[in-house]
Chain A
Amino acid sequence: MSSLIKKTAAELGELIAAGQTSALEVTREHLDQISKVDGRVHAFLHVDVEGALAAAKAVDARRAAGEKLGPLAGVPIAVKDVVTTKGLPTTAGSKILEGWVPPYDATLVERLKDAGTVILGKTNMDEFAMGSSTEYSAYGPTFNPWDLTRIPGGSGGGSSAALAAYEAPLSIGTDTGGSIRQPGAVTGTVGAKPTYGGTSRYGLIAFSSSLDTPGPCARTVLDAALLHEVIAGHDPRDSTSIPAPVSPVVAAARQGMSGDLTGVKLGLVKEFMSAEGAEPGVVAAFHAAVESLTKLGAEIVEISCPNFVYALPTYYLIAPSECSSNLARFDGVRYGLRVGDNGVNSLEEVMSLTREAGFGPEVKRRIMVGTYALSSGYYDAYYGQAQKVRTLITRDFQAAFEKVDALISPTTPFVAFQLGARTADPSSMYLADLYTIPSNLYGGPAISVPCGLSEGLPVGLQVMAPTLADDRMYRVAAALESTIGTLTPPEL
């Protein structure tokens, strides 16, 4: 294995800027690693060899011309296939978009290109980001580099597995109920969900509009922060984008790396500690990490957030409701799959056959649950009530942040499970997001950082911070990383 692919994005950026290596060299080594291991990992749905090499050469040319390069110029990155890339196929892991080539770039992709990062390709995911294992991809699952018989988390399993398999030092994920953080936890990588509205959703294929948040995935906290800084910030094309400066996430990560958390008060969510479903090994690794945080100077207190226990049902009403509407546009009229257009069938029949053939079972389930929850007669009891409970969960967070700087919990109740272990029972899969969902409902930032192993598999610790205080979670996560270190997966 070459030395370049094991380096962090920060290191690669420095080497390229200093001329000690070239963007082309770095890109080639990552492309080599992809061709070497991705047959087994299946992190990628599409690898853009030509585009990546051209982008790398352009960065090298800029450097040769004397241009000062940004910290991530020339650094390769993988983008979750739910984000539109002009000229590059984008499927959201669904058959219904097979072969679709977007005519436009998502805002964050524009920013990645402006920063000089080199887009290697598009990563695998649960169809339309609905799932926690990447098994619901229409193009086959992704395998966890720690153990190829296990899931890499979801929905962004491709983005996290690519990091753990050293196919890319950085990747983009999207987090609606934990789709960045939970894959990060089970692959031993870092995944951050920024404040909702802190990163633009323009060009992110919508699952649940009021929850979807794009964010950075990396192998180190500092790398995640560097990527966060590139993609975050106000976008006038997204009405829910916050017109405020991005908090100093990179500085906060560097501060955290010093390993000092003196004066920082962290809250343990009491309801999560008593919740059923967390594996003993996960609980043990988490408590050991809490111990480490205490040693770094953090003060730990227990905080009650009584409405968090309703986060899961609240989420499974709001997200399906919004998705039932968001996914209506996939009808075989303007783009994507069309099935049954035989000159006899009516448009209505062709639409129904197209959607039946184009969507997988989990997507259909959620569309139907959402259709039900929004129906007249059920709206008040389901969607309407869920929005009220969402308010109460938000109030729990606000009350907690009056007492502590950030909340901590395990990222997910269990380590990477075997493929197929939870697909038969959809609700057992939903438990994977038990601890991650509250932050999505509230809108605040949250990060998963590796905190140890259980049965030889990675466990993640989640830091949840107040809205717009993204810097705070980076500081805590970086501090923990400074004592625990990054986790190294077995060689593939």
Chain B
Amino acid sequence: MTYADIVERYEPVIGLETHVELGTRTKMFCSCPTEFGAEPNTQVCPVCLALPGALPVVNAVAIESTIKIGLALNCSIAEWCRFARKNYFYPDMPKNFQISQYDEPLCFDGYLDVEVDGRTVRIEIERVHMEEDTGKTMHIGGSTGRIQGATESLVDYNRAGIPLIEIVTKPVTGTGAMAPEVAKAYVAELRDVLRGLGVSDVRMEQGSLRCDVNTSLNKPGEEWGTRTETKNVNSLRSVERAVRSEIIRQSGILDDGGKITQETRHFHEDTGQTTSGRSKETATDYRYFPEPDLVPVTPAREWVEEIRAGLPEMPRVRRLRLREAWGLSEHDMQSVLNAGAVDLIEATIVAGASSEGARKWWMGELARRSNETGQELDALGITPQWVAELVSLTDAGKLNDKLARQVVEAGLNGEGTPGEIMAARKLEVVSDTGALLEAIDAAIAANPDVAEKIRGGNQGAAGVLIGAVMKTTGGQADAKTVRGLILEKLK
């Protein structure tokens, strides 16, 4: 059974719950720092260790960041909402309850538009709410480092209490075969939005953006099927694979007349498959109630509007604007995006370069170097101002393509600005016509047969003479100028 066959017969419904660790300097309810990778249990205090008597106090920046996210996702912002306690026992949660939000989320009823294969899909957002992260547990004694078979576990509470934002979509229907791509595109777009807002470093590999994917199948015209919740989906590619693999697995069960169990499943990067976790039927009663240690949050409308006014341009809007301004095809724009070059090109243009010039260097020599070394483009040591200077030198004819490449090479070695490199290395197009004519005469004298061909109207043969002249001048001539002079001479 192929995937195409499956999605002919079943309609997938997906839903995504995304957890984002905010990039605040301190935790959600205490003043402990939030650095990633600190020594175990060194970023803890009475509050986040849940010592007897300690009390939470809300981080103001976490509230502001959540409102930013809500506004960027076109949500309404609650005029009044509260935190709630979600009660369940687990050793990575020091209080044995999580401070979260229950029926009163800070942001609700929004949407995010994403592009998939040139089609715009609107993903409805149900809610954006605040909660706190858990500690990290290390399982000892098993063969795999997993919980199964372990004889004991070790807990580090550094992560406990880091602000966590949960973004929940409404069920996404009608995407058919595209469901896996839509899920991926949503998470990618969400990541870009969050990064643009500057509220999180959104690094899936470090767990600052984590995804749970709900999937169900139903036959066309029938009610939605039973859904499964796939956890542990920690890369964009995995989001797509997890949905696809769940669609295939569920269709197999349904085809055999079986029933889907409502359960949590785990995605495994290595196999691309999901395996069964805990059955939701035994799900505990969380006994939510309003958190008595925290008072209600009632963001003033003026504050919300102030935050809205300060929001950066949304990535999708910006992409469309820049693509148009730069005159790129969708494909070329995608390449620029993939290379992470949008900001750099834009800044280079702001610094005075033409869009073609800016794109040529960032997507050419510099992207090549970035690929070779594995460094990000913006970590190469070349600034937009640097590239803008290079472009203006080539546009002015002071550098030809070959010389410009040498300048870039030197720039990557940290030899200074293009101007400084040109001076130091004496790299400049030879514009002294006398010197050039001398070299041209020498080249004609050395290649009489070629000169004859050109005189006979074969202008393509000029390349040989141009090459010879360039050699004589050490590459520092402008090929176009040389060509013009040769053709003039051999007319």
Q: Determine direct contact between A and B, CB below 8 Å.
A: yes
How far apart are the CA atoms of A374 and B46 in the complex, in Å? 27
Closest residue of chain B to A383 (Cβ to Cβ) is: B289
Chain B interface residue bracket vs A:
20 to 34
Contacts of A325 in B (CB 8 A): 85, 87, 97, 287, 289
Q: Is B140 an interface residue (CB 8 A)?
A: no
Closest residue of chain B to A203 (Cβ to Cβ) is: B53
Contacts of B289 in A (CB 8 A): 321-322, 325, 374, 379, 383
Contacts of B50 in A (CB 8 A): 329, 334
How far apart are the CA atoms of A208 and B96 in the complex, in Å? 16
Q: Is A427 an interface residue (CB 8 A)?
A: no
Closest residue of chain B to A330 (Cβ to Cβ) is: B52
Q: Please report which residues of chain B, range 246-304, place their CB below 8 angstroms from some CB of chain A when the two chains form the complex.
A: 285, 287-289, 292-295
> In the complex, what's the smallest C-beta–C-beta distance from B8 to chain A, in angstroms?
40
Name the one of B51, B85, B151 contacting A103, with C-beta atoms under 8 angstroms: B51
> In the complex, what's the smallest C-beta–C-beta distance from A75 to chain B, in angstroms?
24
Q: Is A351 an interface residue (CB 8 A)?
A: yes
Name the one of A103, A239, A347, A379 contacting B56, with C-beta atoms under 8 angstroms: A239
Q: Mark A235-256, 1 if CB is under 8 A from B, else 0.
A: 0111110000000000000000
Name the one of A239, A347, A348 contacting B295, with C-beta atoms under 8 angstroms: A239
How far apart are the CA atoms of A348 and B94 in the complex, in Å? 15
Name the one of B49, B55, B56, B287 contacting A374, with C-beta atoms under 8 angstroms: B287
> In the complex, what's the smallest C-beta–C-beta distance from B241 to chain A, in angstroms?
33
Contacts of B203 in A (CB 8 A): none
Q: Is B57 an interface residue (CB 8 A)?
A: yes
Q: Is A61 an interface residue (CB 8 A)?
A: no
Q: Is B89 an interface residue (CB 8 A)?
A: yes
Q: Given A103-B46, A328-B95, A374-B289, A239 and B89 touching (CB < 8 A)?
A: no
Q: Please report which residues of chain B, range 82-121, place their CB below 8 angstroms from some CB of chain A when the two chains form the complex.
A: 85, 87, 89, 91, 94-97
Q: Please report which residues of chain B, range 39-78, place their CB below 8 angstroms from some CB of chain A when the two chains form the complex.
A: 46, 49-58
Q: Are A239 and B58 in contact (CB under 8 A)?
A: yes
Q: Are A97 and B293 in contact (CB under 8 A)?
A: no
Q: Is A195 an interface residue (CB 8 A)?
A: no
Name the one of A236, A343, A347, A351 contacting B153, with C-beta atoms under 8 angstroms: A347
The A interface is mostly helix, strand or loop, or mixed, namely loop
Q: Are A239 and B57 in contact (CB under 8 A)?
A: yes
Q: Are B52 and A102 in contact (CB under 8 A)?
A: yes
How far apart are the CA atoms of A328 and B289 in the complex, in Å? 14
Q: Is B155 an interface residue (CB 8 A)?
A: yes
Q: Are A202 and B55 in contact (CB under 8 A)?
A: yes
Q: Are A97 and B52 in contact (CB under 8 A)?
A: yes
Q: Are A334 and B95 in contact (CB under 8 A)?
A: no
Contacts of A100 in B (CB 8 A): 52
Q: Number of A interface residues, CB 8 Å? A: 45
Name the one of A206, A347, A351, A374 contacting B87, with C-beta atoms under 8 angstroms: A374
Contacts of B293 in A (CB 8 A): 206, 209, 239-240
How far apart are the CA atoms of A159 and B138 in the complex, in Å? 44
Q: Given A322-B292, A325-B97, A328-B89, A104 and B287 touching (CB < 8 A)?
A: no
Contacts of A203 in B (CB 8 A): 53-54
Q: Given A237-B57, A239-B294, A329 and B52 touching (CB < 8 A)?
A: yes
Q: Given A240-B295, A375-B287, A383-B289, A331 and B89 touching (CB < 8 A)?
A: yes
Name the one of A84, A210, A239, A331 contacting B53, with C-beta atoms under 8 angstroms: A84
Closest residue of chain B to A332 (Cβ to Cβ) is: B91
Closest residue of chain B to A208 (Cβ to Cβ) is: B292
Name the one of B46, B97, B295 contacting A328, with C-beta atoms under 8 angstroms: B97
Q: Are B287 and A331 in contact (CB under 8 A)?
A: no
How far apart are the CA atoms of A376 and B102 in the complex, in Å? 13
Q: Is A201 an interface residue (CB 8 A)?
A: yes
Once A and B bind, how many residue pairs between them come within 8 Å at the CB atom?
A: 100
> In the complex, what's the smallest C-beta–C-beta distance from B287 to chain A, in angstroms?
4
Q: Is A440 an interface residue (CB 8 A)?
A: no
Q: Please report which residues of chain A, range 322-350, place their CB below 8 angstroms from some CB of chain B when the two chains form the complex.
A: 322, 324-325, 328-331, 333-335, 343, 347-348
> In the complex, what's the smallest C-beta–C-beta distance from A192 to chain B, in angstroms?
21
Q: Are B55 and A239 in contact (CB under 8 A)?
A: yes
Q: Are B52 and A90 in contact (CB under 8 A)?
A: yes
Name the one of B51, B94, B292 contacting A102, with C-beta atoms under 8 angstroms: B51
> In the complex, what's the smallest C-beta–C-beta distance from B288 to chain A, in angstroms?
8
Q: Please report which residues of chain B, range 16-57, place their CB below 8 angstroms from some CB of chain A when the two chains form the complex.
A: 46, 49-57
Q: Are A347 and B285 in contact (CB under 8 A)?
A: no
How far apart are the CA atoms of A90 and B51 in the complex, in Å? 12
Q: Are A102 and B287 in contact (CB under 8 A)?
A: no
Contacts of B53 in A (CB 8 A): 83-84, 102, 104, 106, 202-206
Q: Is A92 an interface residue (CB 8 A)?
A: yes
Q: Is A371 an interface residue (CB 8 A)?
A: yes
Contacts of A335 in B (CB 8 A): 51-52
Q: Given A239-B56, A383-B289, A347 and B91 touching (CB < 8 A)?
A: yes
Closest residue of chain B to A377 (Cβ to Cβ) is: B285
> In the complex, what's the smallest C-beta–C-beta distance from A84 to chain B, in angstroms?
4
Q: Are A104 and B55 in contact (CB under 8 A)?
A: no
Q: Are B52 and A328 in contact (CB under 8 A)?
A: no
Contacts of A329 in B (CB 8 A): 50, 52, 94-96
Contacts of B94 in A (CB 8 A): 329, 333-334
> In the complex, what's the smallest C-beta–C-beta distance from B235 to chain A, in angstroms?
31
Among B56, B58, B155, B285: residue with most chain A CB under 10 A: B285
Q: Are A333 and B287 in contact (CB under 8 A)?
A: no
How far apart are the CA atoms of A334 and B295 in the complex, in Å? 27
How far apart are the CA atoms of A102 and B52 in the complex, in Å? 8
Q: Mark A111-122, 1 if CB is under 8 A from B, else 0.
A: 000000000000
Closest residue of chain A to B83 (Cβ to Cβ) is: A239
Q: Are A210 and B292 in contact (CB under 8 A)?
A: yes
Contacts of A204 in B (CB 8 A): 53
Contacts of B57 in A (CB 8 A): 236-239
Contacts of B58 in A (CB 8 A): 239
Q: Are B89 and A351 in contact (CB under 8 A)?
A: yes
Closest residue of chain B to A352 (Cβ to Cβ) is: B89
Q: Are B52 and A104 in contact (CB under 8 A)?
A: no
Contacts of B96 in A (CB 8 A): 328-329, 331
Q: Are B292 and A209 in contact (CB under 8 A)?
A: yes
> In the complex, what's the smallest C-beta–C-beta distance from A320 to chain B, in angstroms?
12
Q: Given A103-B46, A371-B287, A84 and B52 touching (CB < 8 A)?
A: yes
Q: Please report which residues of chain A, range 71-109, place their CB below 8 angstroms from some CB of chain B when the two chains form the complex.
A: 83-84, 90, 92, 97, 100, 102-104, 106
Which 8 interchain pairs have the tightest Cβ spacing? A328-B96, A209-B292, A374-B287, A210-B292, A205-B52, A203-B53, A329-B50, A84-B53
For the complex with contacts A321-B289, A374-B288, 18 further pairs of A-B residues with Cβ separation under 8 Å are: A83-B53, A90-B52, A103-B46, A103-B51, A202-B55, A205-B53, A209-B292, A210-B292, A237-B55, A237-B57, A239-B57, A322-B292, A324-B287, A325-B97, A329-B94, A331-B89, A333-B155, A376-B287
User: What would 29 A/B residue contacts be, using CB atoms closer than 8 Å?
Assistant: A83-B53, A102-B51, A104-B46, A104-B54, A201-B55, A202-B54, A203-B54, A205-B52, A206-B53, A210-B292, A238-B55, A240-B292, A325-B87, A325-B289, A328-B87, A328-B97, A331-B89, A331-B91, A331-B96, A333-B91, A334-B49, A335-B52, A343-B151, A371-B287, A374-B87, A376-B285, A376-B287, A379-B287, A383-B289
